[in-house]
């Protein structure tokens, strides 16, 4: 039987172990999986582009398990009451090809994206830098903020969005977490007064969310909004001055900030920091940039963790998505006998 995890199941899991515990476990799992990068077969995601958005498949595999995610990105969806991003994932045995888990990944994508940013900040931000800033208070913003609060102790939060209603939503959702929430009138103010900044905007085209002269030495930036060809957030001249860390070069060169400036400005892939092949931050003066577009290994980590936790807490539904046993494995037609 294949275990199926719904949104309700993910909510039940978070209720049982707590959001902080889930984030910390996921960040640990991400670091562990990234540190064994060479164990995985990796491919850039397959994307189908449409005038209204994109639909993607994101596969990855090690010797034991295969995982993939179906995910979309339709920026205009909120105008009709739909989410910009929805997703589903499959986690399967590489030994026999049987799917072990089918899971919602709309929530899990938001959780793993924020956890990955926090992992990058762990390696690239100044240890004493605890002031967190978020530019773009849409769907990803609360997740990014809480991942950094739980993992790095960032409790002083500055935030800005061009939509006042989005800022009100952000503050309302985070009020129970006892953070110091400081609304800002501009992205410039967020940048100037933060040590760690995440940009998570839905801006179209080659936007310039950050101007280089705003950024103080020692700042770390997670750029998560530039995630498809022709869609970026950084001034390319500013990006060239940063120490840039990415996830997977063949994918990021097509979709990330570096699509505007080339591979010669890349310092490392994230796995090299996790595996201690390269150092992260090397001085308090460096400006660091995690050019994040989202990579399938992060979905693998999230799916494997959810599978383990769902078995521990007996969550989800076991469904006969595939034939479990046949007296004769070559006699597939026998499944229809009772229906005829």
CATH number, residue 88: 3.30.1780.10
- The Cα–Cα gap between 192 and 111 comes to 27
Of the candidates 299, 292, 331, 315, which has an alpha carbon nearest to the alpha carbon of residue 67? Answer: 299
Q: Are residues 55 and 199 in the same domain?
A: no
Q: Are residues 117 and 254 in the same domain?
A: yes
Q: Are residues 52 and 95 in the same domain?
A: yes
End-to-end CA distance of the chain: 24
235 assigned to active site? no
Q: Are residues 131 and 274 in the same domain?
A: yes
Q: Are residues 91 and 176 in the same domain?
A: no
- Model pLDDT for residues 197-222, shown as the tens digit of each residue: 999 987 677 778 888 899 999 999 99
Q: Are residues 74 and 176 in the same domain?
A: no
Q: With the C-alpha atoms ordered 144, 35, 260, 267, is the resulting torsion angle positive or negative?
A: positive
Per-residue pLDDT of the chain (340 residues; tens, 9 = 90+): 999 999 999 999 999 999 999 999 999 999 999 999 999 999 999 999 999 999 999 999 999 999 999 999 898 899 999 998 999 999 999 999 999 999 999 999 999 999 999 999 999 999 999 999 999 999 999 999 999 999 999 999 999 999 999 999 999 999 999 999 999 999 999 999 999 999 998 767 777 888 889 999 999 999 998 777 888 888 899 999 999 999 999 999 999 999 999 999 999 999 999 999 999 999 999 999 999 999 999 999 999 999 999 999 999 999 999 988 888 999 999 999 888 9
Q: Are residues 36 and 123 in the same domain?
A: no
Of the candidates 275, 271, 309, 306, which has an alpha carbon nearest to the alpha carbon of residue 290? Answer: 271
Q: Are residues 59 and 102 in the same domain?
A: yes
Q: Are residues 148 and 278 in the same domain?
A: yes
Q: Are residues 148 and 239 in the same domain?
A: yes
Q: Are residues 176 and 278 in the same domain?
A: yes
Q: What is the pLDDT of residue 9?
A: 98
**Catalytic site residue from 195, 227, 291, 299:** 227
| CATH number of the domain residue 139 falls in | 3.40.50.720
Q: How many domains does the chain have?
A: 2
Domain that holds residue 236: 113-295
State the pTM of this model: 0.95
Q: Are residues 35 and 100 in the same domain?
A: yes
């Amino acid at each position: 039987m294949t275990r199926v995890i719904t949104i309700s199941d993910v909510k039940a899991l978070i209720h049982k172990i707590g959001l902080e515990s889930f984030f910390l476990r996921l960040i640990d799992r991400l670091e562990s999986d990234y540190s064994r990068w060479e164990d995985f077969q990796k491919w850039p995601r397959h994307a189908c582009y449409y005038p209204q958005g994109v639909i993607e498949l994101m596969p990855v595999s090690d010797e034991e398990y295969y995982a993939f995610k179906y995910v979309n990105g339709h920026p205009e969806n909120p105008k009709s009451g739909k989410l910009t991003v929805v997703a589903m994932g499959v986690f399967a045995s590489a030994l026999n090809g049987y799917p072990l888990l089918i899971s919602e990944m709309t929530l899990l994508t938001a959780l793993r994206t924020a956890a990955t940013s926090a992992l990058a900040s762990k390696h690239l931000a100044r240890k004493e830098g605890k002031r967190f800033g978020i530019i773009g208070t849409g769907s990803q913003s609360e997740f990014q903020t809480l991942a950094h609060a739980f993992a790095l102790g960032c409790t002083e939060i500055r935030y800005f969005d061009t939509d006042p209603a989005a800022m009100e939503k952000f503050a309302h959702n985070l009020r129970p977490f006892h953070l110091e929430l400081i609304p800002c009138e501009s992205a410039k103010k967020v940048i100037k007064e933060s040590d760690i900044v995440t940009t998570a905007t839905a801006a179209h085209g080659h936007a310039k969310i950050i101007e280089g002269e705003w950024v103080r030495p020692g700042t770390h930036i997670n750029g998560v909004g530039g995630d498809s060809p022709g869609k970026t957030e950084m001034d390319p001249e500013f990006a060239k001055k940063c120490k840039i860390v990415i996830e997977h070069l063949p994918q990021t060169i097509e979709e990330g900030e570096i699509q505007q400036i080339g591979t010669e400005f890349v310092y490392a892939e994230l796995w090299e920091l996790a595996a201690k092949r390269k150092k992260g931050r090397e001085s308090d003066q460096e400006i660091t940039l995690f050019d994040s577009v989202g990579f399938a290994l992060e979905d693998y980590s999230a799916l494997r963790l959810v599978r383990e936790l769902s078995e521990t807490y007996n969550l989800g539904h076991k469904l006969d998505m595939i034939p479990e046993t046949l007296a004769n494995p070559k006699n597939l037609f026998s499944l229809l006998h009772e229906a005829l």
